[in-house]
Amino acid sequence: MRYLPPPTDEDEKPFAAGDVFETCVSMVRNPALRAQLRAIRSDVETEASDYDVKAAGRQLYRKQPHGQVGSVSGDEIVKVYTLRMVPKKSKGRSIYDRIMAAPVHGRCPLCGIGTVNTLDHYLPKTFFPVYSVAPNNLVPACNWCQGEKSEYYPITRDGQLLHPYFDNVGNEVWLGAEVVVGAPAGFRYFATPPSHWTQSEKARVAVHMKELNLPVLFSSNAGSRLSEIRARLASLHQKGGEAAVRNHLRDELASIEADHNNSWAAAMYRAAVASDWFCNGGFLET
């Protein structure tokens, strides 16, 4: 998972949930419905403020699913997003696009691999419609992560997925992998959080990987990378044996970790460096 600063407007000021909501509902043509929606703006603002407090305190699991807000049904509130923020000609689309554009190189912050092509609701709009256009509930995501997450939401502290705007776990290594001996060699991924982390922190990174099915995604990418570098490793092994392969992998690892400690590639190379079998030619088996 890659940290992202909370969404900001063109002046680099945090988006105000009430203003975002008003921008979207201002295009509602039905005067009565528009008035109903505007009447719940204060509810949207209050809930968004409480969301931020609970997210910062790792307590979003305390939020309870709901339906109607004031006199407006949950389905109608969801349409503020689906009809008035997502469509390319809607007034809320510029906000949608700005949030989508936040990740560097368009890389999904939830997995670190996929290309961002949608916004995911951390608390799903189906069960939490009041957050349908709350900026800090909208996370840039790839199809894989949104599809695997689906409408998951936490009901315990330990069950909370990592939140890109409120959890920054990139400074310490918590993603591990090991070489799977076979023909061809493979890599198995798992969470290996530091021992000094709290039990909840340890549980959350494991849940994040499980619910997004990241071990499968990471293993697939590692297999492809091995295919790409096999010829290079074979040449090194022929010339300098196990030591030459390991030294090369260490050099590559240093560069990869300088970008991100917990990428699938960093974990792959750490595992490869640690495996005598791999460095002594195990990678050659196909």
User: What pLDDT shows up at residue 244?
Assistant: 98
Average pLDDT over residues 240-249: 98
**Closest to 123 measured CA to CA, from 96, 159, 154:** 154
- Give me the mean pLDDT over the 254-283 stretch: 97
Q: Which of 181, 157, 77, 68 lies closest to 121 in space, CA to CA?
A: 77
pLDDT greater than 80 at residue 193: yes
Is the predicted pLDDT of residue 216 greater than 90, yes or no? yes
Indicate if the pLDDT at residue 74 is higher than 90: yes
Percent of the chain exceeding pLDDT 90 equals 98
Q: Which pLDDT does position 286 carry in this prediction?
A: 74
Judge whether residue 135 has pLDDT over 90.
yes
Q: In whole numbers, what is the pLDDT of the chain averaged over residues?
A: 97
pLDDT for residue 116 is more than 80: yes
Q: What pLDDT is attached to residue 1? A: 87
Quote the tokens at residue 4. 């992202």
Give the mean pLDDT of 5-34.
96
Contact between 286 and 184 under an 8 Å Cβ cutoff? The reply is yes
DSSP string across 229-269? HHHHHHHHHHHHHHHHHHHHHHHHHHHHHHH-TTSHHHHHH
Strand (E) positions, 59-174? 118-121, 138-141
Q: Closest by alpha carbon to 142, among 114, 109, 103, 113?
A: 114
233 C-beta neighbours (distance < 10 Å), count: 21
Judge whether 272 and 230 are in contact, CB under 8 Å.
no
Q: Mean pLDDT over residues 36-51, rounded?
A: 98
Flag whether pLDDT at 122 surpasses 80.
yes
